[in-house]
Amino acid sequence: MTETATAITGEKARIGAPSIAGFTEEGENLSPLNDPAGSTGRPTVRIPDSSRAGRPTSYKVEDFAPLTGREEDWRFTPLKRLGGLHKEALTGAAPTVEVQATAGVTVETVGMDDARVGSAGIPEDRVSANGWNSAAAATVVTVPADAEDVRVTVTVTGTGLEASAQHLVVVAGPNSRAVVVLDHVGSAVVAENVEIDVRDGAALTFVTLQGWASDAIHASSQQARIGQDAHLKHIAVSFGGDLVRVTPSARFAAPGGEAELYGLYFADAGQHLEHRLFVDHSQPRCKSNVLYKGALQGQGAHTVWVGDVLIRKDAVGTDSYEANRNLVLTDGTRADSVPNLEIETGLIDGAGHASTTGRFDDNQLFYLMARGIPEKAARRLVVRGFLNEVIQQIGIPELEERLNETVEAELAATDS
């Protein structure tokens, strides 16, 4: 690989620039932060809060300071509406879990001391750690090695508004091909930890649907470990609930992995839908692509998207892109969108980010109306089209159909 390219146009990435103190030909000399142990290693020097590399991780809730709302990773979240998930013991009954799966898939309920619990991640925030400490048991879904055409649906049904904890582990065995759908319905106040272990050579499509009842409060930390030449397609779809905060993290455990992270959200009046994702490139020759799209309508509809991509010094040959696009349909909404890209090596194939938040494109509307389509229908067509770009990524016809219906129902609410 002789070509290097990054979307960073600042001095860090200027190829062929005169030598600058502290820089090597591989980029800025940040070796103290680049512990050879990679993402699991503890940095020996203090890393600024702005760097994702310095975010603490721990299984213990007491290792995280009580939240004030001023923390970088909580600054957009209305803590008052978290239902106590960040401070109270989560003693409520966990939502029920029902698993439907093709033959060969094993489903177990295990204690939190099981070896598979903790195999894909360590909590990255206080709510996640609180959930970890409070969970009574974990559901482990295992797709056997080399299995093909596997379909799993995990239905999580909330049955009450007492703060609770939930733990789920999904293991995609080596070289398996599987689709796992995690479907959240009902009413719940829940801190959820989902571990997604994609073993070497496996290809997993993981869809998490947040179609909760309107009073639900849901904080879901979804951590994925991606093995050698493994492929994860993670799709988050949020449209229900009062407050939903999904934080997917993808970590590469070996070279050659690929992570695609897609998201779709539709926030109505008063709803807070937050997605914060992290792609940790610590291994060479891995690819990641992130696309989240959302629509907002109604007074107080609030969406948050934060995309952290960290390309560590060892992650040469990384190819990474992230984008977030928001479509604002009415007045009174707020969309926060923050792409963060940290690059510690210049030897990469690509790294880029994009974020747009805009109103309706009147040119699109004019074009469709000039073809006889009435305004209301034209608007729907454009919104549907906007979100469809993500739906088209799923590749499961019946699920695409269901999401199209969901979008239709949300749009019908706009008209009334």
Partner 1 sequence: MSTLEIKDLHVSIETEQGTKEILKGVSLTINTGETHAIMGPNGSGKSTLASTIAGHPRYTVTSGSITLDGEDVLEMSVDERARAGLFLAMQYPVEVPGVTMTNFLRTAKTAIDGEAPSLRHWTKDVKTAMADLKIDPAFANRNVNEGFSGGEKKRVEILQLELFKPKFAILDETDSGLDVDALKVVSEGVNRAQEKNSMGTLLITHYTRILRYIKPDFVHVFVDGKIAEQGGPELADRLEEEGYDRFLKVQA
Collect all residues with Cβ–Cβ distance below 8 Å to 315 and sequence separation of at least 6.
Answer: 252, 281, 282, 283, 284, 286, 344, 345, 348
Does residue number 397 form part of the binding site for partner 1 (CB under 8 A)?
no
- d(C-alpha 274, C-alpha 398), whole Å: 26
Of 375 and 408, CB closest to partner 1: 375
Contact between 173 and 142 under an 8 Å Cβ cutoff? The reply is yes
Contact with partner 1 (CB under 8 A) among 188, 296, 378, 411: 378
- d(C-alpha 319, C-alpha 323), whole Å: 14
Contact with partner 1 (CB under 8 A) among 49, 375, 401, 408: 375
- Residue 43 φ/ψ, nearest 5 degrees: -65, 145
Of 194, 273, 274, which is closest to residue 232 (Cα–Cα)? 194
**Interface region with partner 1, contact rule CB under 8 A, candidates 42-50, 188-196, 255-263, 379-387:** 379-387
DSSP 361: -
Of 244, 306, 247, 246, which is closest to residue 272 (Cα–Cα)? 244
Of 309 and 403, CB closest to partner 1: 403
Of 16 and 372, CB closest to partner 1: 372
Of 12 and 384, CB closest to partner 1: 384
Does residue number 388 form part of the binding site for partner 1 (CB under 8 A)?
yes
String marking each residue 333-372 x if it binds partner 1 according to CB under 8 A: ----------------------------xxxx-xxxxxxx
Does residue number 384 form part of the binding site for partner 1 (CB under 8 A)?
yes
Contact with partner 1 (CB under 8 A) among 91, 96, 356, 392: 392
Of 262 and 278, CB closest to partner 1: 262
Least spacing, CB of residue 93 vs partner 1, in Å: 41
Contact between 200 and 228 under an 8 Å Cβ cutoff? The reply is yes
**How many binding residues for partner 1 (CB under 8 A)?**
25
Least spacing, CB of residue 405 vs partner 1, in Å: 16
Least spacing, CB of residue 302 vs partner 1, in Å: 24
Does residue number 381 form part of the binding site for partner 1 (CB under 8 A)?
yes
Of 69 and 374, CB closest to partner 1: 374
Of 24 and 392, CB closest to partner 1: 392
Single-letter amino acid code for the residue at 175: N
Single-letter amino acid code for the residue at 354: A
Least spacing, CB of residue 304 vs partner 1, in Å: 23
Contact with partner 1 (CB under 8 A) among 69, 385, 409, 413: 385
- d(C-alpha 67, C-alpha 174), whole Å: 39
Hey, what are 247's tokens?
Answer: 């934080």
Contact with partner 1 (CB under 8 A) among 167, 275, 386, 402: 386
- d(C-alpha 280, C-alpha 125), whole Å: 16
- d(C-alpha 345, C-alpha 268), whole Å: 41
Does residue number 408 form part of the binding site for partner 1 (CB under 8 A)?
no
Least spacing, CB of residue 391 vs partner 1, in Å: 8
Burial zone of 254 (CB within 10 Å; 0-12 exposed, 13-18 middle, 19+ buried): middle
Of 3 and 362, CB closest to partner 1: 362
Contact between 383 and 409 under an 8 Å Cβ cutoff? The reply is no
Longest dimension (CA), the chain: 65
Burial zone of 381 (CB within 10 Å; 0-12 exposed, 13-18 middle, 19+ buried): middle
Contact with partner 1 (CB under 8 A) among 33, 79, 382, 396: 382
Q: Which spans of this chain sit near partner 1 (rule: CB under 8 A)?
A: 361-364, 366-375, 377-378, 381-382, 384-389, 392
